[in-house]
A and B are shown apart, each in its own frame.
Chain A
Amino acid sequence: MKDFIIPWGDDRDMGTPAKQGAAVSLMIDGFEVTVPEGTSVMRAAAIAGIAVPKLCASDNLEAFGSCRLCVVEIEGRRGTPASCTTPVAAGMVVKTQSEQVKRIRKGVMELYISDHPLDCLTCSANGDCELQDMAGVVGLRDQRFEAPEGGMRTHFAARDTSGIANPEWIAKDDSNPYFTYDPAKCIVCNRCVRACEEVQGTFALTIEGRGFESRVSAGGVGDDFMASDCVSCGACVQACPTATLQEKSVIALGTPTRSVITTCAYCGVGCSFKAELNGDELVRMTPYKHGAANRGHSCVKGRFAYGYATHSDRILKPMIRETIDQPWREVSWEEALGFASAKMRGIQAKYGRKSVGVITSSRCTNEETYLVQKLTRAVFLNNNTDTCARVCHSPTGYGLGQTFGTSAGTQNFDSVAEADVVVVIGANPTDGHPVFASRLKKRLRAGAKLIVIDPRRIDLVKTPHIEAAHHLALRPGTNVAVVTALAHVIVTEGLFDEGFIRTRCDWDEFQEYVEFISDVRHSPEMTEILTGVAAEELRAAARLYAKGGNGAIYYGLGVTEHSQGSTTVMAIANLAMMTGNIGREGVGVNPLRGQNNVQGSCDMGSFPHELPGYRHVKGAEVRAIFEGAWGVTIDPEPGLRIPNMLDAAVSGQFKGLYCQGEDILQSDPDTRHVAAGLAAMECVIVHDLFLNETANYAHVFLPGSTFLEKDGTFTNAERRINRVRKVMAPRNGYADWEITQMLANAMLEAEGRPLWHYTHPSQIMEEIAATTPGFANVDYAMLEEKGSVQWPCNDANPEGSPIMHVDGFVRGKGRFIVTEYIATEERTGPRFPLLLTTGRILSQYNVGAQTRRTENTIWHSEDVLEIHPHDAEVRGVKEGDWVKLGSRSGETSLRAHLTDRVSPGVVYTTFHHPTTQANVITTDFSDWATNCPEYKVTAVQVGLSNGPTDWQESYEEQARLSRRILPAAE
Chain B
Amino acid sequence: MSHDKLIRMANQIASFFKTQPGRDQAERVAAHLKDFWGPEMRAALKDQAKSHEAELDDLVRRALPLI
For the complex, what is the distance from the CA of A651 to the CA of B2, rounded to whole Å? Answer: 8
Across the interface, B1 reaches (CB within 8 A) one of A516, A637, A647, namely A647
For the complex, what is the distance from the CA of A638 to the CA of B37, rounded to whole Å? Answer: 6
User: In this complex, which of A512, A567, A644, A820 has the most chain B Cβ atoms within 10 angstroms of its Cβ?
Assistant: A644
For the complex, what is the distance from the CA of A482 to the CA of B20, rounded to whole Å? Answer: 19
In chain A, residues 628-675, which have Cβ atoms closer than 8 Å to a Cβ of chain B?
637-641, 644, 647-648, 650-651, 653
Q: Give the A-B pair count, Cβ closer than 8 A.
A: 60
For the complex, what is the distance from the CA of A517 to the CA of B34, rounded to whole Å? Answer: 30
CB neighbours of B38 from chain A (8 A): 354, 383, 608, 637-640, 644
Kindly state whether residue B51 has any CB partner on chain A within 8 Å.
Answer: no
- What is the chain B residue whose CB lies nearest that of A817? B20
Q: With both chains docked as a complex, state the minimum distance between the C-beta of A659 and any C-beta of chain B, in angstroms.
A: 19
In chain A, residues 531-588, which have Cβ atoms closer than 8 Å to a Cβ of chain B?
563, 566-567
For B18-58 the 0/1 string (1 means CB < 8 A from A) is 01110000000000101111111100000000000000000
For the complex, what is the distance from the CA of A13 to the CA of B8, rounded to whole Å? Answer: 60
Q: With both chains docked as a complex, state the minimum distance between the C-beta of B9 and any C-beta of chain A, in angstroms.
A: 7
Kindly state whether residue A822 has any CB partner on chain B within 8 Å.
Answer: yes
For the complex, what is the distance from the CA of A720 to the CA of B18, rounded to whole Å? Answer: 38
Kindly state whether residue A913 has any CB partner on chain B within 8 Å.
Answer: no
Does A930 lie within 8 Å of B12, measured CB to CB?
Answer: no
- What is the chain A residue whose CB lies nearest that of B22? A512
CB neighbours of B32 from chain A (8 A): 929
For the complex, what is the distance from the CA of A638 to the CA of B41, rounded to whole Å? Answer: 10
Kindly state whether residue B13 has any CB partner on chain A within 8 Å.
Answer: yes
The contact size tier of chain B is: 20 to 34
Does A637 lie within 8 Å of B39, measured CB to CB?
Answer: yes
In chain A, residues 914-940, which have Cβ atoms closer than 8 Å to a Cβ of chain B?
924, 926, 928-931
CB neighbours of A567 from chain B (8 A): 16
CB neighbours of A644 from chain B (8 A): 1, 37-38, 41
CB neighbours of A818 from chain B (8 A): 19-21
For the complex, what is the distance from the CA of A929 to the CA of B20, rounded to whole Å? Answer: 14
CB contact under 8 A between A930 and B2, given known A516-B21, A822-B15: no
For the complex, what is the distance from the CA of A648 to the CA of B44, rounded to whole Å? Answer: 11
CB neighbours of B21 from chain A (8 A): 512, 516, 818
In chain A, residues 283-326, which have Cβ atoms closer than 8 Å to a Cβ of chain B?
none
Does A653 lie within 8 Å of B40, measured CB to CB?
Answer: yes
For A374-417 the 0/1 string (1 means CB < 8 A from B) is 00000000010000000000000000000000000000000000
Does B5 lie within 8 Å of A647, measured CB to CB?
Answer: yes
Kindly state whether residue A258 has any CB partner on chain B within 8 Å.
Answer: no
Across the interface, B12 reaches (CB within 8 A) one of A383, A820, A928, namely A928
- What is the chain A residue whose CB lies nearest that of B20? A818
Does B40 lie within 8 Å of A354, measured CB to CB?
Answer: yes
Kindly state whether residue A618 has any CB partner on chain B within 8 Å.
Answer: yes
User: In this complex, which of B9, B21, B38, B40 has the most chain A Cβ atoms within 10 angstroms of its Cβ?
Assistant: B38
Does B35 lie within 8 Å of A609, measured CB to CB?
Answer: yes
CB neighbours of A653 from chain B (8 A): 40
In chain A, residues 877-931, which have Cβ atoms closer than 8 Å to a Cβ of chain B?
924, 926, 928-931
Kindly state whether residue A616 has any CB partner on chain B within 8 Å.
Answer: yes
CB neighbours of A383 from chain B (8 A): 38
- What is the chain B residue whose CB lies nearest that of A513? B21
CB contact under 8 A between A929 and B16, given known A647-B5, A651-B2: yes
CB neighbours of B20 from chain A (8 A): 817-818
Q: With both chains docked as a complex, state the minimum distance between the C-beta of A533 and any C-beta of chain B, in angstroms.
A: 22
CB neighbours of A641 from chain B (8 A): 36
CB neighbours of A825 from chain B (8 A): 8
For the complex, what is the distance from the CA of A817 to the CA of B9, rounded to whole Å? Answer: 21
For the complex, what is the distance from the CA of A651 to the CA of B41, rounded to whole Å? Answer: 12
For the complex, what is the distance from the CA of A383 to the CA of B40, rounded to whole Å? Answer: 13
For the complex, what is the distance from the CA of A616 to the CA of B36, rounded to whole Å? Answer: 10
CB neighbours of B1 from chain A (8 A): 644, 647-648, 650-651
Across the interface, B36 reaches (CB within 8 A) one of A512, A638, A820, namely A638
Does A638 lie within 8 Å of B35, measured CB to CB?
Answer: yes
CB neighbours of A931 from chain B (8 A): 9
Across the interface, B35 reaches (CB within 8 A) one of A354, A566, A618, A651, namely A618
- What is the chain B residue whose CB lies nearest that of A824? B12
CB neighbours of B16 from chain A (8 A): 566-567, 820, 822, 928-929
For the complex, what is the distance from the CA of A354 to the CA of B34, rounded to whole Å? Answer: 17
CB contact under 8 A between A616 and B35, given known A563-B12, A818-B20, A928-B16: yes
Q: With both chains docked as a complex, state the minimum distance between the C-beta of B15 and any C-beta of chain A, in angstroms.
A: 5
CB neighbours of B36 from chain A (8 A): 609, 638, 641, 929-930
Does A929 lie within 8 Å of B15, measured CB to CB?
Answer: no
CB neighbours of A647 from chain B (8 A): 1-2, 5
Q: With both chains docked as a complex, state the minimum distance between the C-beta of A16 and any C-beta of chain B, in angstroms.
A: 54
For the complex, what is the distance from the CA of A383 to the CA of B36, rounded to whole Å? Answer: 11
In chain A, residues 816-842, which have Cβ atoms closer than 8 Å to a Cβ of chain B?
817-818, 820, 822, 825
For the complex, what is the distance from the CA of A618 to the CA of B38, rounded to whole Å? Answer: 11
CB neighbours of B2 from chain A (8 A): 647, 651
Q: With both chains docked as a complex, state the minimum distance between the C-beta of A577 and any C-beta of chain B, in angstroms.
A: 17
For the complex, what is the distance from the CA of A609 to the CA of B42, rounded to whole Å? Answer: 14
Q: With both chains docked as a complex, state the minimum distance between the C-beta of B31 and any C-beta of chain A, in angstroms.
A: 10
Does B19 lie within 8 Å of A820, measured CB to CB?
Answer: yes
Q: With both chains docked as a complex, state the minimum distance between the C-beta of B16 and any C-beta of chain A, in angstroms.
A: 5
CB neighbours of B34 from chain A (8 A): 618
CB contact under 8 A between A924 and B5, given known A818-B19, A929-B13, A929-B32: yes
For the complex, what is the distance from the CA of A618 to the CA of B16, rounded to whole Å? Answer: 23
For the complex, what is the distance from the CA of A651 to the CA of B3, rounded to whole Å? Answer: 11
For the complex, what is the distance from the CA of A926 to the CA of B12, rounded to whole Å? Answer: 9
Q: With both chains docked as a complex, state the minimum distance between the C-beta of A374 and any C-beta of chain B, in angstroms.
A: 19
For the complex, what is the distance from the CA of A505 to the CA of B15, rounded to whole Å? Answer: 26
CB neighbours of B8 from chain A (8 A): 825
In chain A, residues 784-827, which have Cβ atoms closer than 8 Å to a Cβ of chain B?
817-818, 820, 822, 825
CB neighbours of A640 from chain B (8 A): 38, 41
- What is the chain B residue whose CB lies nearest that of A509? B21
Q: With both chains docked as a complex, state the minimum distance between the C-beta of B11 and any C-beta of chain A, in angstroms.
A: 9
CB neighbours of B40 from chain A (8 A): 354, 648, 653
For the complex, what is the distance from the CA of A516 to the CA of B18, rounded to whole Å? Answer: 13
| Residue ranges of A at the interface with B (Cβ–Cβ < 8 Å) | 354, 383, 512, 516, 563, 566-567, 608-609, 616, 618, 637-641, 644, 647-648, 650-651, 653, 817-818, 820, 822, 825, 924, 926, 928-931
- Given pairs A608-B38, A644-B1, A653-B40, 4 additional interface contacts (CB within 8 A): A609-B36, A644-B41, A651-B1, A928-B15
| Residue ranges of B at the interface with A (Cβ–Cβ < 8 Å) | 1-2, 5, 8-9, 12-13, 15-16, 19-21, 32, 34-41
14 contacts between A and B (CB under 8 A): A383-B38, A512-B21, A563-B12, A567-B16, A609-B35, A637-B39, A639-B38, A640-B38, A647-B1, A647-B2, A647-B5, A648-B1, A650-B1, A924-B5
Question: 4 closest A-B pairs (Cβ-Cβ)?
Answer: A820-B19, A928-B12, A647-B1, A512-B21
